[in-house]
A = this chain, B = another copy of it.
Amino acid sequence: MVSRRCEYGIRASILIARESLKGNRINLRLISDKIGSPLGYTTKILQSLSNEGILLSRRGPKGGFEIAPEAMETINFHGIIMALDGGQIYSSCGLGLSECSEDHPCPIHEHFNLVRADLNAMVKKANLLQLAHGLINGKTFLNTSKKNTLIKDKKV
């Protein structure tokens, strides 16, 4: 549905959001560990998200990544997709036609309308505060293996 890059980006953001809500900054090594992404690749993704102002980063000992809690409601799945993949993923034609539109629809255009609408609504509705709370409440999970991903508070 989205690129792997985006998948890692969203997973990382949700994890960082959770830690930020607990008052912790979390570093790259720990992030790639917890979300099961390649460290060197994850670096690039987090850099992009930092440059876009979605994450705050801090170098040096006790450094790492965080997200301002007051920004979490504003940052949604959509924003992260835009930052990492650019705009055209779910806005463009399902058959890749450049001239597809309501007036000049491709054969599956109408069939896709509902899906496209739901998708657009969904990516905007899913914000980081919500998503991080799901993790905190134990209702959702980020791990690949079922082992616990909890990090002791204040002791990153």
Asked whether A108 lies within 8 Å of B144 as measured between CB atoms, the reply is: no
Asked whether A1 lies within 8 Å of B90 as measured between CB atoms, the reply is: yes
Whether A71 is near chain B, meaning CB under 8 Å from some CB there, is no
Q: In the assembly, how many copies of this chain are there?
A: 2
Asked whether B1 lies within 8 Å of A104 as measured between CB atoms, the reply is: no
Contacts from A to B (Cβ < 8 Å): 1-2, 4, 7, 10-11, 14, 77, 89-90, 94-100, 104-109, 111-112, 114-115, 118-119, 122, 125-126, 131-132, 134-135, 139-146
**Chain B residues whose CB sits within 8 angstroms of the CB of A100 once the complex forms:** 141
**Chain B residues whose CB sits within 8 angstroms of the CB of A112 once the complex forms:** 122
- Chain B residue at minimal CB-CB distance from A108: B126
